[in-house]
Structure 1
Amino acid sequence: MNKIILHKNKEKAAWQLHPWIFSGAIKTVEGKPANGSTVKVFNTDKEFIAYGIYNAQSRVAVRLLEWNQEHPIDEQWWRNRVRRAVELRTPLLTDQNNAVRLIFAEADFLPGLIVDKYGDFLSVQIHSSGVEVVKMIIVDELVQLLQPKGIYERSDLNARQHEGLSDVNGLLYGDMPAEFVDVIENGIRYQINIVEGQKSGFYCDQRDNRWLTAQYVKDRHVLDCFCYSGGFTLNAFKAGASSVVSVDSSALAIETLNRNIMLNGFNSIIHTAVQADVNKYLRQLGEEGRKFDVIILDPPKYAPSRSALDKAARAYKDLNRRALLLLESGGLLATFSCSGAMDIDTFKQVLAWAALDAGKEIQFIRHFNQPEDHPIRASFPEGEYLKGLLVRVL
């Protein structure tokens, strides 16, 4: 097997089970490993550290998989890892929830692999060359474990370009998903689009936060921004909100939202669906003097990397400032960031600046986090990307 020798003093993170080796940490490459092939990683004293996947094109040149030299990376290793990840999620699959993330990349020792279960179908994303090599082994194991109606691949991520991989969308197994697939989350029914929807089709990571936020909306007027297919809106309906305004820039999102409202029989609730740019719409609401009791902000990723953090912080601040201006004393803002580069302390500071600019005094009364099917591996803190705050205006 090809070997990777690290520079002196560059092995500490690897010894501590961090799964990434950056190209600058590599002293020598013994052999000619192909992109996606398995390699052994050693320190300068030739002590074995771990097995990993090599890719010369990627800044993350080696993605570490296994630290026990007695457990080589063969077909059974991949099957065992897939099986273990799925087993850990089994308790989450109930008659009230059948949309679950089954495999969460590095958190499950399967870097570059995402698998989501949506009812009878699985959606797969692959963004590392090593997983690409064993893709059909993983598919076969998923079929044996879950017997899905179909497995659809949505590997159309920017990360694949850094791995030298082209985008791939298509059926991997079984039946092609229908235009809309039925799922249930928190006892609420959804029809989602796996083939053309955002990401892999649905955002399972907000499951708990949708339910938690809904505990504060009974008999209140709610504004749900970046509503997508209606997760926060529908939970608010179920919890007894007086009215909801849902906003998204996507026509498909608004269409899907309205379908999901009808699907659950919530059409008697006072509801307005608006296709608009959220920032512009918030400004318009402010000019009209509109007020709400609860506002939800669940924007897309503003900071894809640390280099974009300053610009993203300004965007988050302006967005939250506009929302705070629409809340009276006692009003609540449930605000989120899915940018991994934005840690919770920085996010709190951004909210403090937004409140200052809006002339509001605020309190942080709850933290929101990732659900348990999106675990954070202790040796890989970068896996913690979703955070949120429930803010009360004084």
Structure 2
Amino acid sequence: MIDVVLKKGKEKAVLQRHPWVFSGAIEHVKGKPVNGEVIRLLDGKKAFLAYGFYNDQSRVAVRLLEWDENVDINDEWFRQKVRMAVAGRADVLSDGQTDTCRLIFSESDYLPGLIVDKYADNLAVQVLTSGIQNVMPVIIDELNNLLKPTSIFDKSDATSRAHEGLETSNVLLAGTNPPELVMVKENGITYGINIAEGQKSGFYCDQRDNRRILAHYAKGKNVLDCFCYTGGFSLNAFYNGAASVTSVDSSALAIETLQENIRLNKFESEKHTAIKSDVNAQLRKFRDEEAKFDIIVLDPPKYAPSRSALDRASRAYKDLNRIGIQLLNSGGLLATFSCSGAMDMETFKQVLAWAALDAGKQVQFIYQFNQPEDHPVRASFPEGEYLKGLLCRVW
């Protein structure tokens, strides 16, 4: 096994079990490991630290796997990690109301670069590191043994694959091709999910708990769901008796799938308005029309992919929320989210305070939203905590 030696004084994070080693921390590499190969990481005194995947094309040059020198990183090691992750989701799926969740969450489940989502009897995977790419036959075999899925579909279309020297992939890995719409349940609601063509893995299950919590307030209310995708918040609002729901998204496929989901659940379509539009432009149009809502959901894409983008992202979040606040009736609720890992909760609260000040409104934070239990946060990897949200009452 090839040795990778750290510069003197760069071992602190490794000893604290953080799974990333950046290229600038490496003193030298003894030999020429193939990208994705498992290497031994040593400190400046040549003492063993950990085993990990190596990739010289990535800024994260080593992704650590195991800190016990006596443990073999073999096929059984990866099978065990898959079994642990799947077992950890048993409670999510136990009530019969939900059959979709995230089964494996990358570093947080000790498998850096592997994401697996369960959609009823189908699995969608994203492979984001060369090391995981090398062991995918073992992982697919173990998933088949544990779950016997109808299909395992590769949705490895993330641009981050390019940083590992990997091409995008969108192919069937095992089983039979999934139907155009796979039917799943979440919180007792039926969704049709286009696994092959949908965004990322096809459905955002990280908002499952937050959809249910917000829907508690929806009875008899007029709801605006922005960046609605295939209608998670919209459908939960109807399920809990919303008077009307307006859903806005820029994706024609998302809007089409949402309207099909309305029909699937036999909700009253005359109470639903679906708008294909840029959300920021549509919010300004609503403001010009003096439209008002009782509940507004703002669940935008990632505005801050890195800390260097945080200032610009903060301005974008503030502008988006300022207009949302202006569109609420007095005493109305704003459910606003950030999926940017670089945006911490305290900064997000400050952004909301600025937005409220500019809008000339008073805002109370009455609940903090988080990612659900199938998106765990590893104690030594706080970067796994990316989703945060605030439920605000606006006066």
1:270 aligns with 2:276: no
**Identity percentage of aligned residues:** 64
Q: Tell me how far apart the structure 2 counterparts of residues 319 and 266 of structure 1 sit (CA, whole Å).
A: 29
Equivalent position SS for 2:375: coil
Q: Counterpart of 1:49?
A: 49
Q: Counterpart of 1:224?
A: 225
1:353 aligns with 2:357: no
The ranges of structure 1 where at least 4 consecutive aligned residues each deviate by more than 6 angstroms after the TM superposition are: none
Structure 2 letter corresponding to 1:53: F
Q: Counterpart of 1:124?
A: 125
Q: Tell me how far apart the structure 1 counterparts of residues 15 and 103 of structure 2 sit (CA, whole Å).
A: 27
Q: Tell me how far apart the structure 2 counterparts of residues 288 and 33 of structure 1 sit (CA, whole Å).
A: 62
**Cα pair 1:237 1:269 within 8 Å, conserved:** no
Q: What's the Cα RMSD here?
A: 0.8
Structure 2 letter corresponding to 1:64: L
**1:15-94 alignment, distance < 5 Å:** 15-94=15-94
Q: Counterpart of 2:383?
A: 382
Q: Counterpart of 2:237?
A: 236
Shift of 1:328: 2.4
Q: Tell me how far apart the structure 2 counterparts of residues 330 and 108 of structure 1 sit (CA, whole Å).
A: 41
Q: Tell me how far apart the structure 1 counterparts of residues 326 and 268 of structure 2 sit (CA, whole Å).
A: 29
1:160 aligns with 2:161: yes
How high is the TM-score relative to the length of structure 2? 0.99
Q: Counterpart of 2:246?
A: 245
Shift of 1:268: 5.2
Equivalent position SS for 1:388: strand
Q: Tell me how far apart the structure 2 counterparts of residues 61 and 350 of structure 1 sit (CA, whole Å).
A: 34
1:276-323 per-position Cα deviation (integer Å, ceiling 9, x unaligned): 111111101111111110000011111111111111111111100010
**Cα pair 1:51 1:65 within 8 Å, conserved:** yes
Equivalent position SS for 2:170: strand
Structure 2 letter corresponding to 1:315: A
Q: Tell me how far apart the structure 2 counterparts of residues 272 and 192 of structure 1 sit (CA, whole Å).
A: 20
**1:66-215 alignment, distance < 5 Å:** 66-94=66-94, 95-215=96-216
1:352-385 per-position Cα deviation (integer Å, ceiling 9, x unaligned): 1111110011010000000000000010000110
Q: Tell me how far apart the structure 2 counterparts of residues 32 and 265 of structure 1 sit (CA, whole Å).
A: 60
Aligned length: 394
**1:291-306 alignment, distance < 5 Å:** 291-306=292-307
Structure 2 letter corresponding to 1:129: S
Q: Tell me how far apart the structure 1 counterparts of residues 10 and 37 of structure 2 sit (CA, whole Å).
A: 22
Structure 2 letter corresponding to 1:330: G
Q: Tell me how far apart the structure 1 counterparts of residues 221 and 260 of structure 2 sit (CA, whole Å).
A: 23
**Cα pair 2:295 2:334 within 8 Å, conserved:** yes
Q: Tell me how far apart the structure 2 counterparts of residues 120 and 82 of structure 1 sit (CA, whole Å).
A: 17
Structure 1 letter corresponding to 2:33: P
Shift of 1:70: 1.4
Q: Counterpart of 2:320?
A: 319
Q: Tell me how far apart the structure 1 counterparts of residues 270 and 193 of structure 2 sit (CA, whole Å).
A: 22
Q: Tell me how far apart the structure 1 counterparts of residues 294 and 84 of structure 2 sit (CA, whole Å).
A: 44
Shift of 1:267: 2.4
**Cα pair 1:57 1:162 within 8 Å, conserved:** yes
Q: Tell me how far apart the structure 1 counterparts of residues 72 and 44 of structure 2 sit (CA, whole Å).
A: 21
Shift of 1:47: 1.4
Equivalent position SS for 1:32: coil
Structure 2 stretches lacking a partner, 5+ long: none
**Cα pair 1:224 1:244 within 8 Å, conserved:** yes
**Cα pair 1:51 1:72 within 8 Å, conserved:** no
Equivalent position SS for 2:171: strand
How high is the TM-score relative to the length of structure 1? 0.99
Q: Tell me how far apart the structure 2 counterparts of residues 360 and 159 of structure 1 sit (CA, whole Å).
A: 40
**Cα pair 2:155 2:196 within 8 Å, conserved:** yes
Q: Tell me how far apart the structure 2 counterparts of residues 127 and 251 of structure 1 sit (CA, whole Å).
A: 27
1:237-257 per-position Cα deviation (integer Å, ceiling 9, x unaligned): 011111111111111111000
Q: Tell me how far apart the structure 2 counterparts of residues 138 and 175 of structure 1 sit (CA, whole Å).
A: 18
Shift of 1:269: 5.7
